[in-house]
Structure formats: structure tokens, C-alpha cells
DNA sequence: AGCACGCCGACT
DNA sequence: GTCGGCGTGCTC
């Protein structure tokens, strides 16, 4: 039998199946989806068995046998194997990369070289210098570490000279982190042979006969513990048979958790509002009818989307099926997790980045072993290895964190729909501010739109006030806080209510802004604000390559208040303390939440009322639900608006709506103050009026004009190299090639320098494709990669293709 | 990716 | 004449 394997070598040339012989002992255990260790050239690598075949087209003489079995049972299901091929295709990634992304990091292979004194060398004769490292004849050291420890080059050369002579170096394939290992017992002998051997055993070797009988009945490998239980034997029995060469023992990784006891306390679901009921009904129908359907649930902040999810999951579980819930990493707060645990008890596995590698692995195992039926997690949880999936929910579906920004560059939404189709189960995309792509699809009837416009218990949406920071400046207020915001803060302090201050600052790029009139430097060709580059003292557009020198006076109003905009939370804290010295501020940003559990601790503190103000970035925008928050202040609503990204307005609207939603979620009325230099911008005005539809329509119009999603698909080709002319040359060639191959209706832009034209001494250029219909695009892009594969492996050239970019850098 | 093979310059 | 530089090509 032949195992067809994808090896763990991430290159173009090795991105295909390699055939290996399956040794008799592994015959039963090697099935598609298991990992194996195989010899590959002069070394050993891990690989995924994709298929098992009877014959191979490769010369029998060239075939090598599988060396080691890594899993007892396949960690990847048939469905996931199938899916990996689609991921590989659609994201233009390597098959190996697509497979690895589906497994927890702890299962990734780790390669090392073990060094020991060569068994044919007498230890006594080994030089003293070497004995310093190898303290005994049996000592096993890590070869690379040994070389590092050796210090100077001379000693290293000595060690290398002794390699394969006095010192034996063996390649070893292990896995990340420590894992439970299990000894597997198997046999090479056929049942007939075993019967003969059994008969030949002495009459008093009862246990040994029992063991052989076990293998005659069931020849597949069995964990030693299971075998001993089955035959009520002891370890010595197996050992005796192993010594006789009848049985073999093999160490393999297990992810079977012995704690089988599953008990989940069902907690009563909450009563639904009419709107919630109406939204839930079609979802339940799809669950009951067992058909695939993608629902877009648009519900304003506080409208009780989570309760709809929970009840849909309840129905799914009642049908004996499983559910995946995706939540943006940032809102995977303890509050959220508790909500699921309370409803589904021990039936929930949680996968998020705050868990250690081992903890994630354990949670993943609980899914694979069917000890849980609900998986809640961030992006990668979309690959939860369920086999009877009945429901997929993506909360805050507009979140950009659902797009993976390195290979394989998949979007969780696409994977969800793919899996939903496979299992014929509903997919629910939920958001207060759906992505334009999703809402447009819902309007076209591709998705089914469900709407909830009211907050639970008829709590009112907060009042939103927009303060014009240009006005503040004209009135002589040069601080970063508007008079209105300071007044509102003082009022809350008096009433002992809490405040959230949100500083929206993303990325490192600053934009150029006129503090008198709000003018922002934009690219004349792209309607996108320019990024100020300090190194060249220039303003650049990375879509089309346009560059200009920053104006010293405002081109619009001739004023001289041109500023490079951007400030941090620390600065805000300082400034605020100058104005209100007694104020208690809890600051949440990357600096204060770096340590494990800090995030939770700070939120707890705030929840207990130990701070008046929660000041933070991105991370406080979502999932906060504290009854005492009655004021939300947004310090710089523009910060995101002028990012050089066609989704800038969309993200601004989404984020501001999201932040606003933190205020007045319970009895006390909420107020939101948004400070901006662009008070008339539709994305800010529509936040004030809580009008998603209005925003959607305006933004759609602009997208249509500019040829962006959802009207056009975008693909971005990133080219980088240490050599600038070469980078430009290659990008140009690719661009020209695409122009010759793609339809005239498709727009191709480039070559253009990236927003950050050089990172780590690599020059970066890109080419952008905007298209409506290009059935052969994937094929053509494959050709492009193929053309340059040789050059990429032997030089610094790198070409990365993103078929659905969210980060335009 | 690694690692060996192999074909040209600076040394014993 | 040999050691070793890293360009080229293969890995079932």
C-alpha cells in the first residue's frame, strides 16, 4: 500500500504529493488525515497523509517507507482535508500551509538534531574535550545547541569534524510543547501466522495466548492500556511477546482525553422580544429543515443578538449537532465566554489567543474527541474539527480580524459558508454594522436579511453629539478635549457615573491635516488620503504611487495650521490629569495589557467602579457592558477616516457605532461625544443619526464610482526584493502580463510603491487588480507564481498574492 | 527549506 | 594537484 503525503516543506517545488510505502505494522493505522514522519532527501520531515492508494506511478525502487506514525487517529477529518484543497486553491497558498492552519500550534512539527557518542566508538577513547559535553556514553544532546554552546569557531569546527565519526548526529522530528504520548501495540504478522504462533505457545502462557487472540480478531494497532484492559493482562505479557518479535511497540501522540464524563447544566433561555423571535424563526427553520442558508442578522447594539445565537445553538444541540461561534479576538472577553458557559456548561470549548499553547491544544482535543459540541473562538476556530456541524455563527461579521493576514490568507466568512454548504447547515452573520459586502449580498438575496432595530427592553440608543474641533480651535481651545466633552466628563464625575474615552489611533502613519479648515491631503487619483513619510518628507499614495511634498500652508484655506496628526493614550492621560487632577483613569492599551490577564483585571477594576474613566484604544470598543457607563467620548474620530484604505469610511462608521453602543445600555441614558475635524463627513453624521442604511447607500455609491468591493473584486500582488530596480522590474512585468491576459473591463493598477516602501531592507511594490468577472484569474495568478518560482527560491524575490485584501499595505 | 553535487579560483 | 566557494537541482 502507498501513502500519498504532503510534506512539511513550504516551497513551490515540494507542493505536491509524495508517495511512500506503508510498512505492514502501519497498514491499518495510516488513513487520510494522519500525520507521519517520512524520510525526505537526506532528512526527515513530518507530513500529512492525503490519500492511501494501492499503486504508485513512481519506480518501486525509489519509494521509501513511512518511518513513523504521529497520530493514532487522524486529527484532520475527510471534510477538512477536502477543505484544505479549496483553501490552497482560493488563497494561492501551499497545501502544507493550508493543512497546518487547521491544527493548533502545539501540533506543529519541530525539527532538531540529536547528537550522541557514536555507538561504534569506545567512550573511554573519546577526547577529554568532547567528554566535557557528553558526560556519559549514553548522553543525548541537541546538536544545534551544542554548537552554540561551543562558543568559538575553532571548537565548532572540531565538533563538525567529528560528526559521523566520534559523534553521531540523527535528525529527529518532534512536536511543539509536551504532549501526552501513548504506546501503541501492533503486529506485522497475519492472523494465520498469529494462530500458528498462538498454538506454539506453552500451555501455561494463557495471557499471551489471549493477547494473540485479540490480534487475530482485531489486527489493527491498539493502545497498550486498551489492550491490557481487553485481555485483563499485565505489561509483562506484552513485553514478552514484543521480545519474541511477535508484537511491536510504538510511541504515538494521543489527544484522547480520559475525562469522558459530560454533564452540562441547561440554563433557562431568556424571553425574546418580538423582533428577536422573528429573526430566530427562519434560522430555526433551516436547522430543522437541515439546509444551508446564510443569514445576515443586522441588529443594533444592545438588540440582543447573542440571545438569538444562544437559542439557535440550543436547537442545534437538541438535534444532536454541533455549533461553531466566531467572535473577534478583541471581544472574546470573559463576559462573553461566561455567557456561553452558563448556557451550555461543559459542552463548550473556548479557543482564543490568551490561552497558552497547551491550553489551546487541550480545548481543540475536546472538540476532536466530541466531548464538547460548541466551539467559541477567534478566526481559526472556524476549522474546529466537528463532524456533524449544525450551525456556524460569526458575530461582528464586519470585523477585519476574520481575515488572516498571512498565508493562507483566508477569510473566516468564506470558510464558514463553505463548511455550511458541506454540512447543509445555516450560517449566521451578525452585526450592528454589517460589512458592505455582506449587506449588499443580503439585499441581492444571496443571504437572507434579518433585522432587529430595537434595543432589548426598549432602552434608547444614546444621544450622539458631534463636536467640531476646528470650531474649538477658532475659539482658542488648543487642547485635545472639546469644551463639551470636558463639561460632560465633569457632570458624570459629579453624578458618580462612568466614562469611556476612546482614542482611535491605528497604524504608524500620520496624516496631514489643517486645523483651521479640516483639509486633509488626498491623492488626486484615488480619493484616498496621503500618508506622510518622514524619511522622504513626502506625501504618498500607495495605490497609484502618487507623491507630493507636504504643503507648508493649507492649499484649501491658505492657513498655516498644517499639522501631522497623531497622539497616544499616554499623552491623553497626562493632558486630562492637568485639567482634572483628582480623576481616576484606567488606561488600556498595548502597554498596560501586555501581561497575561491584565486585560481582564483592568476591566474588573473598572466594573467595580475603581476608576472614573476607562481610557483606551481599539480594544475597549467592543463587548464592554457596564451599567454605569453613561458617557462615551471619541477623541479623534478622523484618525481612521483618512487611512489610505478604501474601507476607511466603513471602518470609521463601524467603530464609532460600536463604541457608541457602550453607553447607556441599561436604565441610565447614554450620551456620546464625538470629536472630529470632519463633522460633515457622512460616516460621522450617520453615526449620529444611527442610520446604517443611509451610510450604506452613500458608501455604495462611492465604491461603485471608484470600482471597489462590493462592485468589484480586488486582488493585490505584493512584490518585494532587496534590489529596488528588480522589484520594480518584476512588478512591471507581472502588471504587463496581467494586462495582456485579463479582460479589458478589468482595471489593473501598478506598479506602485507600497505604503511602507521598504521594510527590513526589502523594497515593496504592488499591483492591484479590480475585476468583476475573471474566471481564469486564479489560474493566471498561479502561472505568475510559477514563472518566478525559480527566482524566488534562489534570490530575495518574494511575490505574495492576496485575493481579498483587507490590509492594503 | 535543506542538502548534495559539481564546476571554477587560492592555496599546500 | 587539492580545498572549498556557493550556483543548480532534487527530494517519493
Task: Summarize pLDDT for A226-254 with one digit per residue, the tens.
Answer: 777 777 777 788 888 887 878 777 766 65
For chain A, list the domains and their CATH numbers: 2-108 (3.40.1440.60), 111-175 (1.10.10), 181-253 (no CATH), 274-458 (3.40.50.300), 463-508+567-703 (3.40.50.300), 713-802 (3.30.70.600)
Q: Under DSSP, is residue A543 helix (H, G, I), strand (E, B) or coil?
A: coil
Sheet strands side by side (includes A247-253):
A222-223, A181-187, A247-253
Closest nucleotide to A20's CA, by C1' atom?
A: C12
CA of A157 vs C1' of B10, distance in Å? 21
A167-175/A109-117 β-pairing: antiparallel
Q: Is A313 exposed, middle or buried (0-12, 13-18, 19+ CB in 10 A)?
A: buried
Checking if the pLDDT of A544 tops 60, the result is no
Distance between CA atoms of residues A467 and A674, nearest Å: 6
Q: Is A544 exposed, middle or buried (0-12, 13-18, 19+ CB in 10 A)?
A: middle
CA of A784 vs C1' of B3, distance in Å? 28
Closest nucleotide to A157's CA, by C1' atom?
A: C4
Checking if the pLDDT of A336 tops 90, the result is no
Distance between CA atoms of residues A48 and A43, nearest Å: 16
- Nucleotide B3's nearest residue (CA vs C1') is A42
CA of A792 vs C1' of C8, distance in Å? 14
CA of A157 vs C1' of C2, distance in Å? 20
pTM > 0.75: yes
CA of A721 vs C1' of C6, distance in Å? 20
| Poorest-pLDDT segment among A1-5, A594-598, A632-636 | A594-598
Q: Under DSSP, is residue A220 helix (H, G, I), strand (E, B) or coil?
A: coil
Question: What pLDDT is stored for residue A760 in this prediction?
Answer: 67
Is the CB of residue A294 inside 7 Å of nucleic acid strand C? no
Count of alpha carbons within 13 angstroms of residue A437, beta-carbon side: 18
Percent of the residues in chain A that have a pLDDT greater than 70, as a whole number: 90
For chain A, report the end-to-end CA distance as a whole number of angstroms: 48
Closest nucleotide to A10's CA, by C1' atom?
A: B1
**Is A425 annotated as ligand-binding?**
no
The predicted model gives A691-697 an average pLDDT of: 97
Range of A37-51, A498-512, A559-573 with top mean pLDDT: A37-51
Distance between CA atoms of residues A46 and A70, nearest Å: 8
Question: What pLDDT is stored for residue A267 in this prediction?
Answer: 65
Closest nucleotide to A14's CA, by C1' atom?
A: C11
CA of A107 vs C1' of C6, distance in Å? 35
Closest nucleotide to A793's CA, by C1' atom?
A: B1
Q: How far is CA A584 from CA A244, A629, A662, A760, in A?
A: 75, 15, 19, 41
The predicted model gives A559-571 an average pLDDT of: 72
Distance between CA atoms of residues A736 and A99, nearest Å: 33
**Is A514 annotated as ligand-binding?**
yes
CA of A115 vs C1' of B12, distance in Å? 33
- Nucleotide C8's nearest residue (CA vs C1') is A794
Checking if the pLDDT of A792 tops 70, the result is yes
Residue pair A668/A627 in contact (Cβ under 8 Å)? The answer is: yes
Distance between CA atoms of residues A658 and A664, nearest Å: 13
Footprint of strand B on the protein (CB under 7 A): A 9-11, 13-14, 41-43, 111, 171, 793
Distance between CA atoms of residues A198 and A62, nearest Å: 37
Which nucleotides of chain B are near protein (any atom < 7 Å from a CB)?
Answer: 1-4
pLDDT bracket for residue A264 (50, 70, 90): very low
Closest nucleotide to A41's CA, by C1' atom?
A: C11
DSSP letters for A363-410: HHHHHHTTS-SEEEESGGGGG---SSEEEEEEETTT-GGGB-SSSS--
CA of A331 vs C1' of C6, distance in Å? 51
Q: How far is CA A787 from CA A454, A508, A780, A790, A793, in A?
A: 55, 35, 11, 7, 12
Question: What pLDDT is stored for residue A94 in this prediction?
Answer: 95
Which nucleotides of chain C are near protein (any atom < 7 Å from a CB)?
Answer: 7-12
Is the CB of residue A94 inside 7 Å of nucleic acid strand C? no
CA of A157 vs C1' of C11, distance in Å? 28
Helix (H) or strand (E) holding A230: helix A224-231
- Nucleotide C11's nearest residue (CA vs C1') is A41
Checking if the pLDDT of A266 tops 70, the result is no
Distance between CA atoms of residues A465 and A631, nearest Å: 11
Q: Is A585 exposed, middle or buried (0-12, 13-18, 19+ CB in 10 A)?
A: middle
Closest nucleotide to A40's CA, by C1' atom?
A: C11
| Poorest-pLDDT segment among A521-525, A585-589, A643-647 | A521-525
Is the CB of residue A20 inside 7 Å of nucleic acid strand C? yes
Is the CB of residue A570 inside 7 Å of nucleic acid strand C? no
Closest nucleotide to A66's CA, by C1' atom?
A: C12
**Is A541 annotated as ligand-binding?**
yes
Angle at which helix A648-660 crosses helix A692-706, to 10 degrees, equals 170
Checking if the pLDDT of A510 tops 60, the result is no
A240 — alpha (psi -120 to 50), left (phi > 0) or beta?
Answer: alpha
Question: What pLDDT is stored for residue A508 in this prediction?
Answer: 33
A134-140: long-range pairs with CB below 8 Å, 24+: A134/A167, A140/A114, A140/A115, A140/A116
CA of A734 vs C1' of B5, distance in Å? 34
Name the residues in A416-455 having a C-beta closer than 7 Å to nucleic acid strand C.
none
pLDDT in tens, A155-166: 666 776 677 677
Residue pair A314/A373 in contact (Cβ under 8 Å)? The answer is: no
Q: Which grid cell is A299?
A: 441588529
- Nucleotide B4's nearest residue (CA vs C1') is A42
**Is A517 annotated as ligand-binding?**
yes
Name the residues in A652-691 having a C-beta closer than 7 Å to nucleic acid strand C.
none
CA of A761 vs C1' of C2, distance in Å? 39
Name the residues in A27-66 having a C-beta closer than 7 Å to nucleic acid strand C.
38-41, 56, 58, 62-64
Helix (H) or strand (E) holding A236: helix A235-243
Is the CB of residue A794 inside 7 Å of nucleic acid strand C? yes
What are the residues facing A322 on neighbouring strands?
Answer: A389
Q: Is A699 exposed, middle or buried (0-12, 13-18, 19+ CB in 10 A)?
A: buried
- Nucleotide B1's nearest residue (CA vs C1') is A9
CA of A794 vs C1' of C8, distance in Å? 9
- Nucleotide C7's nearest residue (CA vs C1') is A794
Checking if the pLDDT of A44 tops 50, the result is yes
Helix (H) or strand (E) holding A292: none
Checking if the pLDDT of A257 tops 60, the result is no
Residue A453 or A458, more confident: A453
Distance between CA atoms of residues A397 and A389, nearest Å: 19
pLDDT bracket for residue A548 (50, 70, 90): confident
Distance between CA atoms of residues A483 and A673, nearest Å: 11
Helix (H) or strand (E) holding A175: strand A167-175
Q: Which grid cell is A383?
A: 476549522
Closest nucleotide to A19's CA, by C1' atom?
A: C12
- Nucleotide C6's nearest residue (CA vs C1') is A794
Is the CB of residue A14 inside 7 Å of nucleic acid strand C? yes
Checking if the pLDDT of A140 tops 90, the result is no
Closest nucleotide to A65's CA, by C1' atom?
A: C12
Calculated CA dihedral for residues A389, A75, A65, A1, nearest 10 degrees: -30
CA of A483 vs C1' of B9, distance in Å? 77
Distance of CA A252 to the CA centre of its chain: 28
CA of A793 vs C1' of B9, distance in Å? 26
| Poorest-pLDDT segment among A47-61, A617-631, A719-733 | A617-631
Q: Under DSSP, is residue A200 helix (H, G, I), strand (E, B) or coil?
A: helix
| Poorest-pLDDT segment among A269-283, A392-406, A422-436, A759-773 | A759-773
**Is A526 annotated as ligand-binding?**
yes
- Nucleotide C10's nearest residue (CA vs C1') is A41
Distance between CA atoms of residues A434 and A447, nearest Å: 12
CA of A631 vs C1' of B1, distance in Å? 55
Calculated CA dihedral for residues A332, A336, A342, A344, nearest 10 degrees: -60
Helix (H) or strand (E) holding A324: strand A322-326
pLDDT bracket for residue A154 (50, 70, 90): low
Q: Which grid cell is A546?
A: 502618487
pLDDT bracket for residue A142 (50, 70, 90): confident
Residue pair A650/A680 in contact (Cβ under 8 Å)? The answer is: no
Mean pLDDT of chain A: 86
Closest nucleotide to A792's CA, by C1' atom?
A: B1
DSSP letters for A115-160: EEE-TTS-GGGS-HHHHTT--STT--EEHHHHHHHT-SHHHHHHHH
CA of A94 vs C1' of B1, distance in Å? 13
Nearest to A809 by CA among A773, A765, A769: A765
**Is A248 annotated as ligand-binding?**
no
pLDDT in tens, A180-201: 566 777 777 788 888 888 888 8
CA of A711 vs C1' of C6, distance in Å? 50
In eight-state DSSP terms, residue A607 is H
Nearest to A461 by CA among A690, A274, A674: A690
Distance between CA atoms of residues A489 and A462, nearest Å: 16
Closest nucleotide to A62's CA, by C1' atom?
A: C12
Percent of the residues in chain A that have a pLDDT greater than 90, as a whole number: 51
A162 — alpha (psi -120 to 50), left (phi > 0) or beta?
Answer: alpha
Distance between CA atoms of residues A419 and A82, nearest Å: 10
Question: What pLDDT is stored for residue A141 in this prediction?
Answer: 81
Question: What pLDDT is stored for residue A236 in this prediction?
Answer: 82
Residue pair A792/A798 in contact (Cβ under 8 Å)? The answer is: yes
Closest nucleotide to A795's CA, by C1' atom?
A: C7
**Is A767 annotated as ligand-binding?**
no
Count of alpha carbons within 13 angstroms of residue A469, beta-carbon side: 24
Angle at which helix A224-231 crosses helix A206-217, to 10 degrees, equals 110
Distance between CA atoms of residues A226 and A249, nearest Å: 13
Beta strands in A525-654 (DSSP E): 531-533, 538-540, 547-548, 562-565, 585-588, 613-616, 629-634
Distance between CA atoms of residues A717 and A788, nearest Å: 13
CA of A156 vs C1' of C1, distance in Å? 29
Amino acid at each position: 500500500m502507498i501513502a500519498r503525503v504532503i510534506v512539511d516543506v513550504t516551497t513551490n517545488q515540494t507542493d505536491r504529493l509524495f508517495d511512500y510505502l506503508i510498512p505492514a505494522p502501519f497498514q491499518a493505522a495510516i488513513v487520510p488525515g494522519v500525520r507521519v514522519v517520512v524520510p525526505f532527501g537526506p532528512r526527515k520531515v513530518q507530513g500529512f497523509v492525503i490519500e492511501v492508494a494501492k499503486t504508485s506511478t513512481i519506480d518501486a525502487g525509489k519509494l521509501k517507507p513511512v518511518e513513523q506514525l504521529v497520530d493514532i487517529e487522524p486529527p484532520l477529518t475527510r471534510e477538512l482535508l477536502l477543505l484544505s484543497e479549496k483553501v490552497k486553491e482560493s488563497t494561492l497558498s501551499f497545501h502544507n500551509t493550508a493543512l497546518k492552519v487547521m491544527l493548533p500550534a502545539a501540533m506543529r512539527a519541530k525539527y532538531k538534531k540529536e547528537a550522541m557518542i557514536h555507538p561504534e566508538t569506545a567512550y573511554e577513547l573519546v577526547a577529554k574535550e568532547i567528554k566535557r559535553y557528553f558526560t556519559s556514553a549514553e548522553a543525548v544532546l541537541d546538536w544545534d545547541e551544542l554548537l552554540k554552546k561551543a562558543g568559538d569557531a575553532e571548537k565548532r569546527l572540531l565538533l563538525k569534524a567529528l560528526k559521523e565519526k566520534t559523534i553521531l548526529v540523527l535528525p529527529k522530528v518532534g512536536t511543539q510543547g509536551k504532549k501526552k504520548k501513548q504506546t501503541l501495540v501492533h503486529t506485522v504478522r497475519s492472523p494465520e501466522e498469529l494462530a500458528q504462533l498462538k498454538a506454539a505457545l506453552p500451555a501455561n502462557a494463557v495471557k499471551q495466548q489471549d493477547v494473540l487472540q485479540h490480534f487475530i480478531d482485531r489486527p489493527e494497532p491498539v493502545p497498550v492500556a486498551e489492550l491490557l484492559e481487553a485481555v485483563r493482562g499485565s505489561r509483562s505479557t506484552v513485553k514478552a511477546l514484543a521480545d519474541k518479535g511477535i508484537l511491536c511497540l510504538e510511541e504515538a501522540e494521543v489527544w484522547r482525553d480520559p475525562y469522558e464524563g459530560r454533564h452540562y447544566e441547561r440554563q433557562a433561555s431568556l424571553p425574546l422580544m418580538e423582533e428577536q423571535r422573528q429573526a430566530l424563526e427562519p434560522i430555526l427553520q433551516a436547522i430543522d429543515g437541515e439546509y444551508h442558508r446564510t443569514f445576515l442578522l443586522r441588529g443594533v447594539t444592545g438588540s440582543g443578538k447573542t440571545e438569538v445565537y444562544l437559542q439557535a445553538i440550543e436547537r442545534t444541540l437538541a438535534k444532536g449537532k454541533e455549533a461553531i461561534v466566531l467572535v473577534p479576538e478583541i471581544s472574546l472577553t470573559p463576559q462573553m465566554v461566561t455567557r456561553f458557559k452558563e448556557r451550555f456548561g461543559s459542552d463548550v470549548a473556548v479557543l482564543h489567543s490568551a490561552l497558552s499553547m497547551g491550553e489551546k491544544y487541550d480545548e481543540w482535543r475536546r472538540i476532536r474527541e466530541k466531548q464538547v459540541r460548541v466551539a467559541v473562538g477567534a478566526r481559526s476556530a472556524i476549522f474546529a474539527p466537528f463532524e456533524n456541524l449544525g450551525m456556524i455563527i460569526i458575530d461582528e461579521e464586519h470585523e477585519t480580524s476574520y481575515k488572516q493576514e498571512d498565508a493562507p490568507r483566508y477569510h473566516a466568512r468564506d470558510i464558514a459558508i463553505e463548511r455550511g454548504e458541506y454540512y447543509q447547515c445555516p450560517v449566521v452573520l451578525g452585526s450592528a454594522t454589517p460589512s458592505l459586502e455582506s449587506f449588499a449580498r443580503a439585499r441581492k438575496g444571496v443571504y437572507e436579511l434579518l433585522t432587529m432595530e430595537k434595543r432589548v427592553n426598549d432602552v434608547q440608543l444614546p444621544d450622539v453629539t458631534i463636536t467640531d474641533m476646528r470650531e474649538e480651535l477658532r475659539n482658542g481651545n488648543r487642547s485635545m478635549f472639546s469644551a463639551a466633552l470636558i463639561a460632560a466628563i465633569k457632570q458624570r464625575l459629579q453624578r458618580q457615573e462612568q466614562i469611556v474615552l476612546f482614542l482611535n489611533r491605528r497604524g504608524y502613519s500620520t496624516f496631514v491635516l489643517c486645523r483651521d479648515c479640516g483639509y486633509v491631503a488626498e491623492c488626486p487619483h484615488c480619493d484616498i488620503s496621503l500618508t506622510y513619510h518622514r524619511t522622504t518628507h513626502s506625501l504618498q499614495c500607495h495605490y497609484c504611487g502618487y507623491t507630493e511634498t507636504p504643503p507648508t500652508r493649507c492649499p484649501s484655506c491658505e492657513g498655516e495650521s498644517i499639522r501631522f496628526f497623531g497622539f497616544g493614550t499616554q499623552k491623553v492621560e497626562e493632558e486630562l490629569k492637568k485639567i482634572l487632577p483628582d480623576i481616576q483613569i484606567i488606561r488600556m492599551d498595548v502597554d498596560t495589557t501586555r501581561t497575561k490577564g491584565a486585560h481582564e483585571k483592568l476591566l474588573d477594576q473598572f466594573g467595580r467602579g475603581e476608576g472614573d474613566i476607562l481610557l483606551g484604544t481599539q480594544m475597549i470598543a467592543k463587548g464592554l457592558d457596564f451599567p454605569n457607563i453613561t458617557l462615551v467620548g471619541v477623541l479623534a474620530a478622523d484618525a481612521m477616516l483618512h487611512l489610505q484604505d478604501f474601507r476607511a469610511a466603513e471602518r470609521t462608521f463601524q467603530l464609532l457605532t460600536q463604541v457608541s453602543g457602550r453607553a447607556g445600555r441599561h436604565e441610565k441614558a447614554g450620551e456620546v461625544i464625538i470629536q472630529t475635524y470632519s463633522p460633515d463627513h457622512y460616516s460621522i453624521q450617520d453615526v449620529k443619526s444611527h442610520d446604517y442604511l443611509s451610510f450604506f447607500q452613500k458608501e455604495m455609491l462611492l465604491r461603485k464610482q471608484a470600482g471597489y468591493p462590493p462592485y468589484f473584486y480586488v486582488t493585490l500582488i505584493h512584490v518585494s526584493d532587496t534590489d529596488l530596480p528588480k522589484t520594480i522590474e518584476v512588478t512591471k512585468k507581472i502588471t504587463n502580463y496581467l494586462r495582456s491576459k485579463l479582460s479589458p473591463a478589468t482595471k489593473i493598477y501598478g506598479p506602485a510603491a507600497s505604503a511602507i516602501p521598504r521594510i527590513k531592507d526589502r523594497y515593496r511594490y504592488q499591483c492591484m487588480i479590480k475585476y468583476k468577472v475573471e474566471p481564469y484569474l486564479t489560474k493566471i495568478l498561479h502561472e505568475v507564481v510559477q514563472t518566478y518560482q525559480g527566482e524566488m527560491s534562489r534570490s530575495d524575490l518574494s511575490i505574495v498574492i492576496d485575493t481579498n485584501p483587507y490590509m492594503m499595505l
